[in-house]
Amino acid sequence: MPRIAIVYFSQTDVTEQIAKSIASGANQEDGIMVLEHRIDGHEIIEGRFENAALFEQLKSCNAIIFGSPTYTQTTSRGRIQLELETYLSKALIEENGYTNCIN
């Protein structure tokens, strides 16, 4: 069964509304499993995003959608996205031998 993850940060709930709308649409498709995760402040430790359980779940997803709000025309995703991409890239290469990843 295909798995789609939607991982997002939302301060004013606008990004959350979009993420939930995407999840709702995906859930209407037969045979698709959706993992939805809102990033909370307690997951940021010394400036780094840490959630080992989520990282493990994301490794088995066929697609990952990241959502973040914008503030003064820039995204807040930078550090969180970097942490996730680094962890997942290493995990996929080590476990599956993938060498070609799309950002």
Predicted TM-score of the model (pTM): 0.72
**22 pLDDT higher than 90:** yes
What structural domains and CATH numbers belong to the chain?
3-96 (3.40.50.360)
User: CA-to-CA distance for 63 and 5, rounded, in angstroms?
Assistant: 6
Q: Which two tokens stand for residue 9?
A: 């940060």
Give pLDDT, residue 27: 93
Query: What are the DSSP calls for 32-52, one per residue?
Result: -EEEEEE--GGGEETTEE--H
Predicted confidence (pLDDT) per residue in 72-92, tens digit: 555 555 656 666 666 666 666
